Structure 1
Amino acid sequence: MFPFNVRVYGILRTENDEVLITDERTQSVSFTKFPGGGLEYGEGLIDALKREFMEECNLKIDVIRHIYTTDFYEKSSFNNSQIISIYYEVKALEELNIDLKTLPFDFNNNLVADKLEVFRLIKLENLKEEDLTFKTDKKALEAFKFLTRKEGVN
């Protein structure tokens, strides 16, 4: 049996043209990615993304549009499953009210469940693919920047 692991992530851009990213450490692995996580059985993608933002950021969001879906083989960094990641542009429906850091991996013992997790806002123009750990996040950032340039937004 070859299990699949479906993940859903949100690219949240603020009015100041900043993008929310998260630094995490779990199972002794540190990584930087967009907020989001795993789809639970019986859950739709949009509901999963809204749940993840409530769990991680205590933030109600609305989904604006699809940005990217994994189109290559990606093995999980944590087990033998194949990762399928779906990325959406999202907007906050309320004020972002979480502790924001300026330095990567500035955990200060911010233990959430069984992982360390902190959030940062980075100007979209300054956010580079090398700032993100996983290939899928890098591809999603590339697609998001392409769409915003095409629309003349950035």
Structure 2
Amino acid sequence: MYLFNVRVYGILLNDENEVLISDEKTSNVSFTKFPGGGLEYGEGLLDALKREFMEECQLDIDIVRHVYTTDFYEKSSFNESQILSVYYEVKAAGPITFEVKASPFDFSREKQQEKMEVFRFVPAQALAAEELTFKTDKKAWEIFKSLLPKV
């Protein structure tokens, strides 16, 4: 049997044209990605993305548009499943009240747990795909950047 792992992520720009990214750390690996996560059985993509933002950021979001769906084979970094990732541009539907860090992987004020996650905003024009850990995030970011107005 082949296992598929469907993931959904949001690319959120704030009013200062900064993009929200997540720095995460588990007991044996650290990575930078867009906020989002796994689809649960019986859940649609948009509902899953809204749930993930509420769970991770305590933030209601609106979906703006589809950006990218994985179009190549990607094996999970964590198990033997094949990853299918779907990316949407999203916008905050309310005020951003969660803590935003200034530095990558700043877990200094976080309670030490098996999995830790912090968020930061990075100027959209300054975020290089290489700063993101996963191949799908890198490709989604390159596509999204091509959709931004040129300044």
- TM-score, normalised via structure 2 length: 0.96
In structure 1, C-alpha distance between the alignment counterparts of 2:110 and 2:55, rounded to whole Å: 14
1:55-106 CA-to-partner distances (Å, cap 9, x unmatched) read 0000000000000000001000100000000000000011111111111111
Q: Output the CA distance in 1 between the equivalents of 2:38 and 2:32.
A: 16
- Corresponding position of 1:105: 105
Describe how 1:66-145 pairs up with structure 2 within 5 A: 66-108=66-108, 110-111=110-111, 114-145=114-145
| Number of equivalent positions | 151
C-alpha deviation, 1:27, in angstroms: 4.1
Q: Find the residue that maps to 1:16 and give its secondary structure.
A: coil
Is the 8 Å Cα contact of residues 12 and 89 (structure 1) preserved in structure 2? yes
In structure 2, runs of 5+ residues without a counterpart are none
Please, which runs of 5 or more residues in structure 1 have no aligned partner?
none
1:24 corresponds in structure 2 to 24
From the superposition, tell whether residues 10 and 112 of structure 1 become closer, same or farther in structure 2 (CA, over 3 Å). farther
Structure 1 range deviating more: 123-132 or 102-111: 102-111
- Aligned partners of 1:109 and 1:116 also within 8 Å: no
One-letter amino acid of the structure 2 residue matched with residue 129 of structure 1: A
* SS of alignment partner, residue 46 of structure 1: helix
Structure 1 residue 110, shift from structure 2 partner: 2.3
Q: Compared with structure 1, are the counterparts of its residues 112 and 75 closer, same or farther at alpha carbon in structure 2 (3 Å cutoff)?
A: farther
Tell me how far 1:147 sits from its aligned partner: 1.0
What amino acid does structure 2 have at the position aligned with 1:4? F
Distance 2:99 2:30 in 1: 19
Stretch moving more, 9-18 or 107-116: 107-116
* Deviation for aligned residue 1:113: 7.0
The amino acid across from 1:142 in the alignment is: E
CA distance in 2, matches of 1:102, 1:27: 23
Could you tell me how far 1:120 is from its partner in structure 2?
A: 0.5
Distance 1:72 1:28 in 2: 26
Supply the distance in 2 between the matched residues of 1:113 and 1:52 (Cα, whole angstroms): 19
Q: Distance in 1 between matches of 2:112 and 2:46?
A: 23
